[in-house]
Amino acid sequence: MSVAADAASGAGAAPRRDGGPAGLALQGRHALVTGASRGIGYEVARALLAQGARVTLLGRSQHSLQQAAAALAELGEVYAASADVARRQDVDAAFASAAQHFGPVDILVNNAGQAVSQRFDRLSEEQWQQMLAVNLTGTFHCMQAALPGMLQRQWGRIVNVASTAGLVGYAYVSAYCAAKHAVVGLTRSVALEAAGKGVTVNAVCPGYTETDIVREAVSNISDKTGMSPEQARAKLAERNPQGRLVQPEEVACAVQWLCLPQAGAVNGQSIPVDGGEVMSG
């Protein structure tokens, strides 16, 4: 595990707990976002910085993290730590380093994830285990690293970025669906354990979103069906009643809201961000 350089001034200062200036609801709070160097994670980091949080970016590529941290530094205090969330040792070291820098983690956003497309009868055990390791076990590792301190301080926010694939089934991504369904179940269980202790645990479930995962899906569809990339994108967008792909900043807005003090009554929920594709009764 390696830690990138601090990307903003004020490193090591004790975080404020007085609420900060008006309009900065997360002033003094330390937020850690996984998979934060691009896509949804990057936009989540931006949204939390806009509310005054100090943000640790966590991901596997130190180079990508440094680039993201440099781009976000003008918005607030940012720290970057590289780790593979599937490895407990990496996670523990990254959380310890982040805590030395900004204090204990008040807000955890589990965004790191991967998807593999394969027909179920051709799915290898290696692919199956990889989907569970990154999407589910990584979430477990980070939640276990953050939750004890939140419970001790009687305040915390955990938001797991799941997927509509955690609410319904999709063909050819069975391992991904299984992992994301498990994330939703984990979210609900831990939310009940933390209820009444000042900590909320929720999930957001994006539909097809303009991210690297969807770009890979477009490429796979094109390769396997002969569709043009434009046709493949349109095929994915058809699932959304709005006829478009969700944008990362739209997912980040939902995450940001769940992290605010004013969202304290929202707990154990799995909120679709999908233009109405999945509706609960």
Catalytic residues: 176
Query: Residue 111 carries which DSSP code?
Result: -
Q: How far apart are CA 256 and CA 58, in angstroms?
A: 17
Read off φ and ψ for residue 42, nearest 5 degrees.
-65, -45
- What one-character-per-residue DSSP string does 129-151 give? HHHHIIIIIHHHHHHHHHHHHHH
Q: How far apart are CA 265 and CA 247, in angstroms?
A: 26
Provide CB contacts within 8 A for 122, sequence distance 6+: none
Q: How far apart are CA 77 and CA 255, in angstroms?
A: 19
The answer to whether 259 and 107 have CB atoms below 8 angstroms apart is yes
Q: How far apart are CA 50 and CA 24, in angstroms?
A: 7
Q: How far apart are CA 76 and CA 10, in angstroms?
A: 10
Q: ∠ at Cα 263 (260, 268), nearest 5°?
A: 120
Read off φ and ψ for residue 49, nearest 5 degrees.
-60, -35
State the pairing for strand pair 78-82/199-206: unpaired
The answer to whether 276 and 207 have CB atoms below 8 angstroms apart is no
Q: Distance between alpha carbon 13 and the CA centroid of its chain, in Å? A: 26
